[in-house]
Amino acid sequence: MLNPIRYLFAVMPVVTVPPLILLWYAIHPFARAWRRIGARWTYGILMVPALGVCWASFTERKTLVGTDLGTRPALIVLGVAALLLAGVLSQARRKYLTQQILMGVPELSATDKGKLLTEGIYGRIRNPRYVEFLTFIFGVAAIANHLGVWILLLASVPAFELIVVLEERELRERFGAEFDEYCRRVPRWIPRWTKAGPSQSSIRAKFPTTPW
């Protein structure tokens, strides 16, 4: 009964995550060039190869999901808890990271550099969207328990780290010393659970960090 569900959970990330990561890598290092044609044309062009990778991954899904490591009730419980945590993070960041921002409209705009946020979850951690995404992948991997998904999770960690480095380079170019001060106050990945005053609220570019 659980095996088909676990297999479905395994297929989902191995088909969708690689093209998303490749899409981010196609955008962030070349954001200046993409701004010349705008967000609509950028995604119109890049979605063609992204969908091609998605289709190729789906075609090879049996190979990509890898060995079934078996149903593990403890892992399923842990995975469900991780998915719930990802949901909490999603609700917290959605108040500030709108769908338009998420899709890259301001980042790929030649005229709108974005607006800095000074409140919410971005005052605790600089990259809640990526933490949410990694937590989600972990939850799916724990439920699916297929070797390919665990490998994907491990590969996603350095992939996201490099994306963050590229993204922060853009933020520093746009917001200069203000962003540097934000980096000094707010950690990149792991929040400091201390009481934040008004001066410790977040500063975050109101433009996308992901097209997810």
pLDDT in tens, 145-202: 999 999 999 999 999 999 999 888 888 888 788 888 888 888 999 887 665 444 443 4
103 lies in some domain: yes
212 lies in some domain: no
23 lies in some domain: yes
Amino acid at 64: L
Identify whether the C-beta of residue 144 lies closer than 8 Å to the C-beta of residue 70: no
Cα–Cα distances in angstroms (integers) from residue 93 to residues 130, 167, 173, in the given order: 11, 17, 23
Separation CA 45–CA 40 (nearest Å)? 9
Residue 211 phi, psi dihedral angles, 5° rounding = -95, 25
CA nearest neighbour of 137 among 6, 9, 27, 3: 9
Range of the domain at 120: 2-205
109 lies in some domain: yes
Q: What is the pLDDT of residues 28-63, one digit of tens each?
A: 888 888 888 888 889 999 999 999 999 999 999 999
Residue 153: give its domain's CATH number: 1.20.120.1630
Separation CA 6–CA 73 (nearest Å)? 12
210 lies in some domain: no
Q: Which residue has the tokens 């190979």?
A: 63
- pTM for this one? 0.85
Separation CA 197–CA 60 (nearest Å)? 51
151 lies in some domain: yes
